[in-house]
């Protein structure tokens, strides 16, 4: 266990905000977490890799971070392999491990920043795959009383970038392990965007080829947080009614869209781009020049500057399209 007071979170948030936590504790096991619980103050923030949050200022309570490690095959049934992974493993290390073992299911989620625990909170998703498609169960400890609970996938109530851990149970549980269901005979998912174009004419494709293609696409479009502070997509893609979609499509026949349950999803990045924001900035906060869904810290930006840019962009999108967009990044 590691514990610090007045601890700088600069290296623990990919936006690069220089804020402090009153107390920061990193635990290595469920047992350590349970011993910690009686010592917790009322204000607790459980952090993963800090790749999906924006600190508005110092954090006056305790920041908890899991260093629970381990990747273990726990069951093999026919083509299916269940793999139990510690919440503190770096997500992409797990993806690299799965691909090296020839186990399919997570290769489209290559290079997503963050840790395994957050994959189950956030239902991370990219290139046609979401974490919920591969999660078999989630082990968690209740922060109020130290009781362990195992959640089946349905109990996690997953939806686009949503789960029970972000809604009814927000802040109530610390995820300790996630078990994923992987395939020995992978079904490649190549339908999203330009995956096929990037793979080209290559024959006998493997999950390693798909991982490499996704890595190439992400590297070309998304800024590296080590170079320029950011938290990936800043906004969620809104779902609008069919009527609303058709009325906008009349004016923008080339608008990209995805049919989803309950309506039509319109890429917020496309709308922000149409508003002319791509590559523009307000103060030291900017809209990424290759993917307008990503807000970046141009160097020394305050969270107020990022939030002002966020609000201005939302207002402009609303004025142009009549659609509200909302941050997917958690504001702390
Ligand atoms: N587009 C533009 N201009 C832009 C950005 C996008 O015209 O500046 C258009 C693209 O050409 C494309 C469409 O909008 O037709 C969608 O763009 P893209 O495929 O890049 O995906 P996205 O919807 O903007 C989502 C995820 C990303 C994920 C990609 C790929 C959310 C909030 N974001 O972005 O996730 O990598 O799909 O699956 O759903 C993240 O969560 O941090 C993240 C990067």
Q: State how far the Cα of 42 lies from the Cα of 62, in Å rounded to an integer.
A: 9
State the average pLDDT over residues 164-189.
Answer: 97
84-102 pLDDT, tens digit each:
999 999 999 999 999 999 9
Q: For residue 222, how far is its CA from the centre of ligand 1 (angstroms)?
A: 10
| 172 token code pair | 């109530």
Give buried/exposed letters for 285-314 (b at 16+ CB in 10 A, else e): bbbbeebbbbbbbeeebbbebbbebbebbb
Rounded Cα gap, residues 111 and 126, in angstroms: 10
Residues framing ligand 1 (Cβ under 6 A)? 126-127, 192-193, 222, 232-233, 236-237, 256, 267, 269-270, 273, 278, 291-293, 328
Token pair in block for residue 1: 């266990």
| Gap from CA of 35 to ligand 1 centroid (Å) | 42
Average pLDDT on 124-136 reads 97
Q: Which atom of ligand 1 is nearest to the CA of 160?
A: 39
Mean pLDDT, residues 226-255 taken together: 97
pLDDT score of 211: 98
Among 286, 293, 330, residue to substitute to test ligand 1 (most atoms within 8 Å of Cβ): 293
Which residue has a Cα nearest atom 15 of ligand 1? 256
User: Can you give the pLDDT at residue 253?
Assistant: 97
Pick the closest to residue 121 from 159, 91, 82, 162 (CA basis).
Answer: 162
Ligand 1 centroid from CA 1, angstroms: 38
- Please provide the average confidence, as pLDDT, over all residues in the chain: 97
Q: Measure the CA–CA gap between 128 and 191, rounded to whole angstroms.
A: 7
**128 C-alpha to ligand 1 centroid (Å):** 11
221 CA → ligand 1 middle, Å: 9
**73-92 average pLDDT score:** 98
Average of per-residue pLDDT across 200-209: 94
Closest ligand 1 atom number to CA of residue 291: 8
**Atom 37 of ligand 1, nearest CA residue:** 126
- Output the residue whose Cα is nearest ligand 1's atom 7: 270
At 144 the pLDDT is 94
Mean predicted confidence (pLDDT) in 115-132: 97
Mutation pick for ligand 1 pocket among 51, 269, 277, 321 (CB with most ligand atoms within 8 Å): 269
What positions carry a catalytic annotation?
A: 161, 233, 328
Give the confidence band of 41 by pLDDT, cuts at 50, 70, 90. confident
Q: Kindly give the number of the ligand 1 atom that is closest to the alpha carbon of 222.
A: 44
Per-residue pLDDT at 193: 86
How many Cβ atoms from other residues are within 10 Å of residue 14's Cβ?
24
Instruction: Find out whether 19 and 59 touch, Cβ atoms under 8 Å.
Output: yes
pLDDT over 90 for what percent of the chain?
Answer: 98
What's the mean pLDDT in 200-222? 96
Nearest protein CA to atom 29 of ligand 1, as residue: 126
End-to-end CA distance of the chain: 24
Q: pTM to 2 decimals?
A: 0.96
Closest ligand 1 atom to residue 269 Cα is 5
In this structure, the residue with its CA closest to atom 43 of ligand 1 is 233
Task: Quickly state the pLDDT bin for 297 (edges 50, 70, 90).
Answer: very high
pLDDT confidence of residue 308? 97
Q: Which atom of ligand 1 is nearest to the CA of 221?
A: 20
Cα of 233 from ligand 1 centre, angstroms: 8
* Residue % of the chain over a pLDDT of 70: 100
Residue 42: pLDDT band (50, 70, 90) is: confident
SS3 2: strand
Look at 33-42, 110-119, 152-161 and tell me which has the smallest mean pLDDT: 33-42
**For range 1-19, the mean pLDDT:** 96
> 261-293: per-residue pLDDT in tens?
899 999 999 999 999 999 999 999 999 999 999
């Amino acid at each position: 266990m590691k514990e610090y007071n007045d601890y700088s979170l600069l290296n623990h948030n990919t936006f690069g905000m220089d804020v402090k936590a009153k107390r920061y504790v990193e635990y290595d096991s469920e047992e350590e977490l349970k011993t910690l619980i009686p010592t917790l103050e009322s204000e607790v923030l459980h952090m993963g890799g800090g790749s999906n949050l924006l600190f508005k200022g110092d954090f006056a309570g305790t920041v908890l971070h899991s260093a629970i490690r381990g990747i273990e095959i726990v069951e093999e049934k026919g083509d299916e392999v269940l793999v139990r992974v510690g919440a503190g493993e770096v997500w992409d290390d797990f993806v690299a491990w799965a691909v090296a073992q020839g186990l399919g299911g997570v290769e489209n989620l290559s290079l997503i920043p963050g840790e395994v625990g957050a994959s189950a909170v956030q239902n991370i998703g990219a290139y046609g795959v979401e974490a919920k498609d591969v999660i078999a169960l989630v082990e968690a400890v209740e922060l109020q009383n130290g009781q362990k609970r195992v959640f089946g996938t349905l109990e996690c109530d997953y939806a686009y970038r949503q789960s029970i851990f972000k809604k009814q149970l927000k802040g109530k549980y610390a995820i300790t392990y996630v078990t994923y269901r992987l395939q020995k005979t992978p079904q490649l998912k190549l339908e999203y965007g330009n995956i096929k174009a990037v793979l080209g004419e290559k024959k006998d494709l493997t999950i390693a080829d798909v991982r490499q293609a996704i890595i190439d696409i992400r590297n070309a479009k998304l800024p590296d947080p080590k170079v320029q502070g950011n938290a990936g997509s800043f906004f969620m893609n809104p779902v609008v009614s069919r009527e609303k979609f058709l009325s906008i499509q009349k004016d923008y026949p080339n608008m990209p869209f995805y049919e989803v349950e309950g309506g039509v999803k319109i890429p917020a990045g496309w709308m922000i781009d149409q508003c002319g924001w791509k590559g523009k900035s307000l103060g030291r906060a900017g809209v990424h020049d290759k993917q307008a869904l990503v807000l970046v810290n141009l160097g020394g930006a305050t969270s107020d500057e990022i939030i002002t840019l966020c609000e201005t962009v939302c207002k402009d999108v609303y004025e142009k399209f009549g659609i509200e967009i909302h941050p997917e990044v958690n504001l702390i």
